[in-house]
Amino acid sequence: MTGGASGIGAATCRRLAAEGARVAVTDMNLDGARQVADEVTGAAYELDVRAEDSIRAAVDAAEADLGPIDALVNNAGYDEWGWFTDTDPALWDRVLAVNLRGVIAVTHAVLPGMQQRRRGRIVNTASEAGRVGSSGSAIYSAAKAGVIGFTKAIAIENGRYGITSNAVAPGPIETPLLMGAPDAFGDLGKRLVENMVGSTNLRRLGQPDEVAAAIAFLASDDASYITGQALGVSGGLARI
């Protein structure tokens, strides 16, 4: 699990552990990962998805401690909100590095082992922003659309190994990433969160546990004939 210290990732670690998995809780925030790992009696590792050496070290340590990785959840993510014309190349690089390149890099480190063992589940936390676009989040939307395309390509290449690759596409979920937006980006953040909630059929925020349930399903044996899919966990959101 990447980004396991907070929000959707922490909820998914708890859910997977409750279902009997031994969970490697990884995050760039090692203290936060340790807190979650203590709760679920898993193990915590520092892993920054932007750095290949950090990824390699965490994957090797996790496999030495807990055994081969049967399921990979690429969940780490973040955003910097603002109108596209106010962004600059440095921001593009920061947002793409975590949300898109990070998913690619961690998958690249884990997938060969899954191919050797001829089994594996990959679940990527994309976003509805990658399917319908999210105003104030153009680069993040591009990254998440990229994650969905990557998910599908990995599904095609790896079906012959019995490996599945799927994504969840959350809508507005009550986590620090979303709820911090009004503090970090003022009135724009507040209005964008309100718009997102208003765009859901259910007219409410989702909870991390509701996304965790979908990720756990896609990582489970129950999802054995599901691959290359992006499952909306978004209260029926179809536009923002």
Q: Which is nearer to ligand NAD, 47 or 123 (CB)?
A: 47
How, if at all, do strands 230-233 and 163-170 pair?
parallel
Q: Is 178 in the site for ligand NAD (CB under 6 A)?
A: yes
Q: In whole angstroms, give the CA distance from residue 72 to residue 129.
A: 22
**Annotation says 140 is catalytic:** yes
Nearest by Cα to 48 from 68, 26, 31, 64: 26
Tokens of 171: 């809508």
Q: Which stretch binds ligand NAD (CB under 6 A): 58-66, 88-96, 176-184, 213-221?
A: 176-184
With vertex at residue 149, the alpha carbon angle to CA 147 and CA 154, rounded to the nearest 5 degrees, is 90
Residues 80-99 that bind ligand NAD (CB under 6 A): 98
Spell out, one character per residue from 61 to 80, where the chain touches ligand NAD: x when CB under 6 A holds, - when not: --------------xxxx--
Is 189 a binding residue for ligand NAD by CB under 6 A? The answer is no
Alpha-carbon distance 34 to 112, whole Å? 27
- What are the distances in angstroms from CA 54 to CA 12, 45, 146? 22, 10, 23
Count of residues that interact with ligand NAD, criterion CB under 6 A: 30
62: left (phi over 0), alpha (psi -120 to 50) or beta: alpha
How many residues are listed for the chain in this entry?
A: 240
Q: Is 5 in the site for ligand NAD (CB under 6 A)?
A: yes
- Interacting stretch for ligand NAD, rule CB under 6 A, among 112-120, 148-156, 172-180, 224-232? 172-180
- In the β-sheet with 230-233, what is the strand arrangement from edge to edge? 71-74, 120-125, 163-170, 230-233
Smallest distance, Å, CB 6 to ligand NAD? 3
The answer to whether residue 200 forms part of the interface with ligand NAD (CB under 6 A) is no
Binding mask 134-153 toward ligand NAD (x if CB under 6 A, else -) reads: --------------------
Task: Show which residues are catalytic.
Answer: 140
Binding site for ligand NAD (CB under 6 A): 2-3, 5-9, 27-29, 32, 47-50, 75-78, 98, 102, 125, 127, 170, 172-173, 175-178
